[in-house]
Amino acid sequence: MNILDWNTLDPVRQAAALERPKLLRDAKLLAEVERIVRRVRKDGDAALLAYAKRFDGATPAALAVSEAEFRAAEKAVAPDIKRALKDAIGRIRRWHKAGMAKGFSVATAPGVDCGRIIRPIQRVGLYVPAGSAPLPSTVLMLGVPAKLAGCGDIVLCSPAQADGGIDPVILVAARLCGITQVFKTGGAQAITAMAFGTASIPRCDKLFGPGNRYVATAKQYVQGLPGGPAIDMPAGPSEVLVIADRDTDAEFAAADLLAQAEHGPDSQVLCLSDDAGKLADIIVAVRRQTARLPRAAILRKSLRHARFIRTASIAEALALSNRYAPEHLILAVRKAEALLPQVQAAGSVFLGPWASESLGDYCSGTNHTLPTNGAARAYSGVSVASFQLQISTQRVSRAGLRAIGPCAETLARCERLDAHAQAVRLRLDAA
Amino acid sequence: MNILDWNTLDPVRQAAALERPKLLRDAKLLAEVERIVRRVRKDGDAALLAYAKRFDGATPAALAVSEAEFRAAEKAVAPDIKRALKDAIGRIRRWHKAGMAKGFSVATAPGVDCGRIIRPIQRVGLYVPAGSAPLPSTVLMLGVPAKLAGCGDIVLCSPAQADGGIDPVILVAARLCGITQVFKTGGAQAITAMAFGTASIPRCDKLFGPGNRYVATAKQYVQGLPGGPAIDMPAGPSEVLVIADRDTDAEFAAADLLAQAEHGPDSQVLCLSDDAGKLADIIVAVRRQTARLPRAAILRKSLRHARFIRTASIAEALALSNRYAPEHLILAVRKAEALLPQVQAAGSVFLGPWASESLGDYCSGTNHTLPTNGAARAYSGVSVASFQLQISTQRVSRAGLRAIGPCAETLARCERLDAHAQAVRLRLDAA
């Protein structure tokens, strides 16, 4: 954790300073995923159960979570967690609802009304990983917008635990979101099942959710197969970029960097400032706080990718941020609001000292499923629109045809598409 | 061109009736595309020029279209075509502008304001094919929304013709859209150039546009590479589904089917009706009109994939349409408006006898870049949003932190993400 002085670096070192850790996605991984996809498409549920045993050490009695299991989960989860889930759902719903797209119709010429109608994607598949701990927040971040979108069929897959069940918090969160089709399967096998269907698991039109490199690779792979589903976005390790100035609270900034770093050994954190002293303070705080945290082993690994960069100005820091396009951007500076207009590419922006990134992960209301690994240059986070279709419409009267038909005919002839021209000409002759 | 009676088919034949023609995307094609991608990434402009010679029989003096070429194009294009392009741009702009997403901010709790800001994708790449004829409509359908989105850098690639130039109509259309960076390169090589950059062609964040199977395969392939760009959507052959009743004008319906069929030998057209007599009339009209059209050879090939299906009712026809999820859906029935609420999946819908599908291709105002091959179940057509980022924001005051911090801390502890919890706890202790 050294401080790099941006303006003393040559362009090669500058590029290296903003480079992400290499993803561990090699040919061997892809071959393994291909094998799993083939087997699940061939053997269906039997393959899912075999993989549950092999990868998760689990032998669930059935793939589908039963009503009895949902009821047992309700009893098992502490009231304060239930309350927190409900509170979070309320705010997540408020933000997502406010951002929903609406249908419209506009006259583009007399007698020509063009519009858009919004429809839910019919069947969506949500993936919820289960590693060392349950991730109910993933359920909320996918389940709430899916419901608001009006999706009729919501399928959720999560790996079975060693006891053959799914963590009760996941089940309670699913029910609170109105999701009842929950299946005990994980990894590339769950992705394949939702992509192409099995006897138990219905085939889904679009897949959502985070996961390890098997899951991420499988999502990208099935998306490219003939008849494969759409996916929310490409997935990479989580990352944060903090912009600090001399007013930044070093302890807060360090805590935000560590919150990101604890996701996994390949997570990346960057801290940019025009104040070298502040960067030094933040590094000291990171070291001190790390020692107190239980995931110190992961932290030490991911902090190897950390970057502390001194820039000539806050404007330069923001320019670098736009170039890096971070998943999370924390403007921990005194005049955060004044910087926002300059933000060009990021997943989500946090303004000012109190806006901890953790709040966005759980319950400020925004979605935490965000583009990583530079994808924030071209992708946006999950929203209700991610679960919807926008279908264009055109209503054309006889007068409308007369108004715009000749234009269409001219352009069709220019493209030498005579049948296109004729479809208009026949009508013009009859109109 | 026989009439299938839906309710006399067994489920296997029903599924076959709604199946699309197999795409010709084999391992050989992918290997060839991979070779092109590798070579362009290695040799840059030199590779582009070599491929122009080999695939397009062209030896352009430079890859970039010069100011002199733009000026010559202005003189070469007939005034009526220029006028049609301008008219079309006006309507395309009106519809796209009406559908633009807006930023917003909403208080999800006292002191917690969550919002969304809209930003253009910084650099976008548009691909315009050049086969037997220029396709200026593609330029408009991508250029107009890119400009409305505010994209600063718009790159356009199109294959060089045998004379080393680009069709003047393409250049005029590009200028009318405000696009000045036009390059003479096509196929998988153009896609690679825009995806990763060469000395002449800047690297783009997202690629748009139709193309042959090399282009479609290359887009999907570069999207999956590390650091690869986003793409608009997967591409397949064009298709239309017409729903007809006894009031449908058979000549109009036939003309619309043929307009779709002329795109290429793998295009697919379907016509569904509850009236067997009307289906027979439409088939007769298709045969008669085909004989008069210059692209009869292509038409005869693509009409092999045509389907004429008699359903028990118009409601059943619509249910089949939702299952098929056509790129274009023509409701050529008397009560088209009443059917619209039942439309669940389609790219674009045309209502009533005068709404020829060709109008949408050129100048009704809607976008003609639409999901094909069943992708309309999960993807939407191109719009201004396709060229923009939606970035979420959160502003949290001290009071806001006090209001929602405990909720975030509870959920972070439940997920055993202690650094997440600590980033909130530190602030709660200070607030």
A18 and chain B in contact, CB less than 8 A = no
Q: Which residues of A touch B250 (CB under 8 A)?
A: none
Question: In chain B, pLDDT over 70 holds for what percent of residues?
Answer: 100
CA distance A257 to A171: 31
Please check the confidence at residue B140 and state whether its pLDDT lies above 80: yes
Q: Closest-CA residue in chain B for A349? A: B393
Give the model's pLDDT for residue A235. 86
Please check the confidence at residue A60 and state whether its pLDDT lies above 70: yes
Give the model's pLDDT for residue A24. 65
Question: In chain A, pLDDT over 90 holds for what percent of residues?
Answer: 93
Q: Which residues of A touch B114 (CB under 8 A)?
A: 91, 95, 364-366
Nearest to B269 by CA among B300, B314, B233: B300
Task: Tell me the DSSP string of B65-105.
Answer: PPHHHHHHHHHHS-HHHHHHHHHHHHHHHHHHHHT----EE
* Residues of chain A numbered 316-335 and touching chain B (CB < 8 Å): none
Domain-wise residue ranges, chain A: 3-23+236-365, 27-231, 397-430
Higher pLDDT, A20 or B24: A20
Distance from CA of A127 to the nearest CA of B (A): 16
> What is the band of B431 on the pLDDT scale with cuts at 50, 70, 90?
confident
B297 and chain A in contact, CB less than 8 A = no
Tell me the per-residue pLDDT of A313-370, one tens digit each, with 9 for 90 and over.
999 999 999 999 999 999 999 999 999 999 999 999 999 999 999 999 999 999 999 9
CA distance A207 to B332: 34
CA distance A29 to A107: 52
Mean pLDDT of B181-205: 98
Residue contact B359–A251, C-beta within 8 A:
no
Distance from CA of A290 to the nearest CA of B (A): 9
Phi, psi angle pair for B32, to nearest 5° = -65, -45
- From residue A252, give the alpha-carbon distance in Å to each of A38, A336, B206, B319: 48, 15, 36, 56
Tell me the per-residue pLDDT of A376-421, one tens digit each, with 9 for 90 and over.
999 999 999 999 999 999 999 999 999 999 999 999 999 999 999 9
> What is the band of B203 on the pLDDT scale with cuts at 50, 70, 90?
very high
Higher pLDDT, B298 or A321: A321
Q: Which residues of A touch B94 (CB under 8 A)?
A: 106, 108
Tell me the per-residue pLDDT of A37-53, one tens digit each, with 9 for 90 and over.
999 999 999 999 999 99
Q: Closest-CA residue in chain B for A220? A: B224
Question: In chain A, pLDDT over 70 holds for what percent of residues?
Answer: 100
> What is the band of B226 on the pLDDT scale with cuts at 50, 70, 90?
confident
Query: Hey, is A110 helix, strand or coil?
Result: coil
Give the model's pLDDT for residue B396. 97
Tell me the per-residue pLDDT of A150-203, one tens digit each, with 9 for 90 and over.
999 999 999 999 999 999 999 999 999 999 999 999 999 999 999 999 999 999
Residue contact A380–B361, C-beta within 8 A:
no
Among A119, A367, A408, the residue with its CB nearest the CB of B345 is A119
A238 is in an annotated binding site: yes
Give the model's pLDDT for residue B25. 64
Give the model's pLDDT for residue B58. 93
Task: Tell me the DSSP string of A113-181.
Answer: EEEEEEEE-SEEEEE---SSS--HHHHHHHHHHHHHHT-SEEEEEEPPPTTSS--HHHHHHHHHTT--E
A129 and chain B in contact, CB less than 8 A = no
Q: Which residues of B touch A347 (CB under 8 A)?
A: 391-392
A139 and chain B in contact, CB less than 8 A = no
| B388 beta partners | B120
* Residues of chain B numbered 207-226 and touching chain A (CB < 8 Å): 220, 224, 226
CA distance B370 to B263: 14
Residues 6+ apart with CB under 8 A from B276: B3, B5, B310
Please check the confidence at residue B131 and state whether its pLDDT lies above 90: no
Q: Closest-CA residue in chain B for A80? A: B410
- The mean predicted confidence, pLDDT, of chain A is 96
Give the model's pLDDT for residue B27. 83
Mean pLDDT of A90-104: 98
Looking at B182-295, list the stretches that DSSP marks H as alpha helix, in order from N- to C-terminal side: 187-196, 213-224, 250-261, 276-292
| B349 beta partners | A393, B329
* Continuous segment of H or E residues that includes residue B169: helix B168-176
CATH no. of A397-430: 1.20.5.1300
* Continuous segment of H or E residues that includes residue B118: strand B112-120
Report the DSSP pairing between strands B388-396 and B112-120: antiparallel
Report DSSP state, residue A21: P
**Matching CATH topology for A3-23+236-365 and A27-231?**
yes
Superfamily the domain B27-231 falls into: Nitrogenase molybdenum iron protein domain (3.40.50.1980)
Q: Which residues of A touch B378 (CB under 8 A)?
A: 121, 205-206, 229-230, 389
Give the model's pLDDT for residue B406. 98
* Continuous segment of H or E residues that includes residue B56: helix B45-56
Tell me the per-residue pLDDT of A253-301, one tens digit each, with 9 for 90 and over.
999 999 999 998 889 999 999 999 999 999 999 999 999 998 888 899 9
DSSP H helix total and E strand total for chain A: 17, 14
Give the model's pLDDT for residue A255. 98
Give the model's pLDDT for residue A236. 86
CA distance A418 to B259: 8
B265 and chain A in contact, CB less than 8 A = no
Give the model's pLDDT for residue B1. 85
Mean pLDDT of B121-143: 94
Q: Closest-CA residue in chain B for A136? A: B415
Class of domain A3-23+236-365: alpha beta
Please check the confidence at residue B24 and state whether its pLDDT lies above 70: no
> What is the number of other CB atoms lying within 10 angstroms of the CB of residue B91?
26
Give the model's pLDDT for residue A370. 97
Give the model's pLDDT for residue A25. 64
Residue contact B383–A390, C-beta within 8 A:
yes
